[in-house]
A and B are shown apart, each in its own frame.
Chain A
């Protein structure tokens, strides 16, 4: 296993863990079925890309068409990505989360995800359409050469820092009284309203905080892969993250991390092995079967172990009545 491969694996794992923590906050803790999660990651990635790239008339970049191009120094593009994720969550949340029933929210968000991808693909001058943005400058490329071993260590270090930061934030949210309100709303919205909680406000906050973290994960990823296009954020990508949360265990951060390592990272590795193995399958069959496996995994877990590998711990208060 060489260094570049190892770094690649660790950074993808970090991005998946961050994404799963954010989705767990929305889906696992608050009960919002955010089928357009990947759009928030994408908006963060695009924002970070256009903030760090030079203008689209600049030498070497003039084969693409995009808005912006400000060449801002690190860490502004990352902050911009996180802010963009949060900003996008405001209008989407206001349309979807206020009046609609939970299952309608889910389909509205799913449709949003499909349409957002269609629009970006077709509107080329905006973000270079289907071809996507290439040659996104990696952070601090002027200080350390990105094609060297130290840079790989540096980026892995940045990723670990990012994971720790996000984990700290979501742990604080989930374990705070505020997290308790979120769980109360998830369990029984009407009861939560009866004790004075405002579900729309709770959902909006969880949606925006999740959007910020999702945007941040996109910025982190695009800085490393230096490329972003509609084909990497099709709506099934969100389903992988849902599979991760369902497998890991809804509603707890340890489960989300476990799920991120088992599902997206695990599948990535299995594909690599299958592609290298001489099976003689025609191209495209392995990825297709992988999606089938993801579907089976979701259904299998919902059937046999709906609480996941690590179920959410029951929170019991000392001195409270015994419920069993």
Chain B
């Protein structure tokens, strides 16, 4: 029983990490209508940026900011240089999925000669142990959770109470109508790539912090967990992604405690399959996986 309570504690950290990544992914998809399969690779690239900053003797919390900035700029450029021209050319949605998979492959393999195959880890003290009942967490883990909660509140505020957030929601609902109403959708989409890119980069750094060590191959495993959470919540739904992250975080950590940590992604995949069979539109979405493309 104690084991499960401990796993619940890890689950809390895990869900905080997944929530940051999944909210970024789902907003990217919901507003720009583009499934960015390179998301996991952008996460891992940002984690490496933070790694080099950290290796220069700078605290990982500042490395996190560097990772977020890198993720924002990288994602913005990715859209401007690759995705957006292809969309303007009229490439089909399936064509875009293939393009983003090609991009993902290219990022991973361009990174490989630079950073190598080896697993690396950040240099930082894990902080003091804090006991809450029988849950034991480090101050670092509590820091990650605090960052995540703060970001979720910020995203909520952005979408609900700012003009930009309103414009984003309008663009997501109907881009043509939004443009006709005078919303500069192009600028909104640029902003979306910057914001979600920052979330992606930051998520990459916290995911790397949360696992003991990381390497390029983790890009694909990050992507699977993020996809599972986003699809579970209903793709394109930020609040759904938050709920999805909570469930996936808990389920994977509990299964790791009961069964084997090697199969974390497999369990996430199992949840993904169940959702696709039983409720393909996800928990929250009214129109999601089932709706016609476009």
Q: At the interface, yes or no: B119 with Cβ under 8 Å from chain A?
A: no
Chain B residues positioned under 8 Å from A296 (CB to CB): 102, 106
Does A79 belong to the interface (CB within 8 Å)? no
CB pair A101 B290 closer than 8 Å: yes
Closest chain-A Cβ to B79's Cβ sits at a distance in Å of 14
Residue pair A107, B35 in contact (C-beta under 8 Å): yes
Q: Which residues of A contact B97 (CB under 8 A)?
A: 33, 103, 106-107
The reply to whether the CB of B292 lies closer than 8 angstroms to some CB of chain A is yes
Asked whether any CB of chain B lies closer than 8 Å to the CB of A67, the reply is no
Query: Chain B: which residue is nearest A121 at the CB level?
Result: B262
B158 within 8 A of A: no
Interface residues on B, range: 35 or more
Contact with A108, one of B82, B89, B276 (Cβ below 8 angstroms): B276
Q: Which of B98, B113, B231 is close to A302, meaning CB atoms less than 8 Å apart?
A: B98
Q: Are A288 and B290 in contact (CB under 8 A)?
A: no
- A268-312 CB mask vs B (1 if < 8 Å, else 0) is 000000000000001011001111101110110011001000000
Known: A118-B265, A302-B95. Contact between A104 and B289, CB under 8 A?
yes
Please give me the residue from chain B that is nearest to A294 by CB atom: B105
Contact of A291 among B82, B109, B117, B220 (CB under 8 A): B109
B86 CB–A CB distance under 8 Å: yes
Within 8 Å of chain A (Cβ to Cβ): is B1? no
Chain B residue at smallest Cβ distance from A281 = B113
The answer to whether A294 touches B102, judged by C-beta atoms less than 8 angstroms apart, is yes
Q: Mark B86-118, 1 if CB is under 8 A from A, else 0.
A: 100101011111110111011011101100010
- CB pair B113–A282 under 8 Å, yes or no, is yes
Q: Is B37's beta carbon under 8 Å from chain A?
A: yes
Complex contact B99–A122 (CB within 8 A): no
User: Which chain B positions have C-beta within 8 A of A306?
Assistant: 91, 95
Which among B89, B109, B231, B291 has the greatest number of chain A C-beta atoms within 10 A?
B109
Across the interface, which residues of B come within 8 angstroms of A107, CB to CB? 35, 37, 97, 227
CA distance A299 to B60 in the complex (A): 36
Q: Which of A104, A110, A119 touches B266 (beta carbons < 8 Å)?
A: A119
Kindly identify which residue among B95, B103, B117, B224 contacts A284, using a CB–CB cutoff of 8 Å.
Answer: B117
Complex: chain B residue closest to A298, CB-CB? B102
Among B102, B265, B292, chain A packs the most CB atoms within 10 A around the CB of B102
**Complex contact B98–A31 (CB within 8 A):** no
Contact B37 A298 (CB under 8 A): no
A284 and B105 within 8 A (CB): no
Contact A96 B276 (CB under 8 A): yes
The CA-CA distance from A210 to B110 in the complex, in Å, is 33
Given contacts A111-B227, A122-B263, are A102 and B109 in contact (CB under 8 A)? no
Chain A 255-273 per-residue mask, 1 if CB under 8 angstroms from chain B, else 0: 0000000000000000000
CB pair A106 B102 closer than 8 Å = no
Question: Could you tell me if A101 and B293 are in contact, using CB atoms closer than 8 angstroms?
Answer: yes
Q: Chain B interface secondary structure, helix, strand, loop or mixed?
A: helix
Q: Mark B28-45, 1 if CB is under 8 A from A, else 0.
A: 000000010100000000
How many chain A residues touch B (CB < 8 A): the figure is: 43
The answer for the CA separation of A102 and B291 in the assembled complex, in Å, is: 10
In the bound complex, residues from chain B placing their C-beta under 8 Å from that of A111 are 224, 227, 269, 272
The verdict on A100 contacting B290 (CB below 8 Å), with A95-B277, A306-B95 known, is yes
Given contacts A103-B293, A107-B97, A296-B106, contact A302 B266 (CB under 8 A): no
The distance in angstroms between the C-alpha atoms of A102 and B89, with both chains bound, is 20
A46 contacts the other chain (CB 8 A): no
Interface check A35, CB cutoff 8 A: yes
Chain A positions 198 through 239: 1 when the CB is less than 8 Å from some CB of chain B, otherwise 0: 000000000000000000000000000000000000011001
B273 on the A face (CB < 8 A) = yes
Chain A 156-172: CB-based contact to B (< 8 A → 1; otherwise 0):
00000000000000000
Given contacts A122-B263, A303-B89, contact A106 B94 (CB under 8 A): yes
Task: Tell whether, in the assembled complex, residue A291 and residue B227 are in contact, meaning their CB atoms are under 8 Å apart.
Answer: no
CB contacts (< 8 Å) of A108 on chain B: these are 272-273, 276
> Which residues of A does B touch, CB under 8 Å?
31, 33, 35, 95-96, 99-104, 106-108, 110-112, 114-115, 118-119, 122, 235-236, 239, 242, 246, 282, 284-285, 288-292, 294-296, 298-299, 302-303, 306
Beyond contacts A101-B293, A295-B102: 7 other A-B pairs, Cβ-Cβ < 8 A, are: A100-B289, A106-B94, A115-B224, A239-B105, A246-B98, A302-B98, A303-B86
Closest 5 CB pairs of A and B: A295-B106, A291-B109, A295-B102, A288-B109, A298-B102
26 A–B contact pairs at CB < 8 A?
A: A35-B101, A96-B276, A99-B276, A100-B276, A100-B280, A101-B290, A102-B293, A103-B96, A108-B273, A110-B37, A111-B224, A111-B269, A111-B272, A114-B221, A114-B265, A122-B262, A239-B101, A239-B102, A284-B113, A288-B109, A288-B112, A294-B105, A295-B106, A298-B98, A298-B99, A302-B98
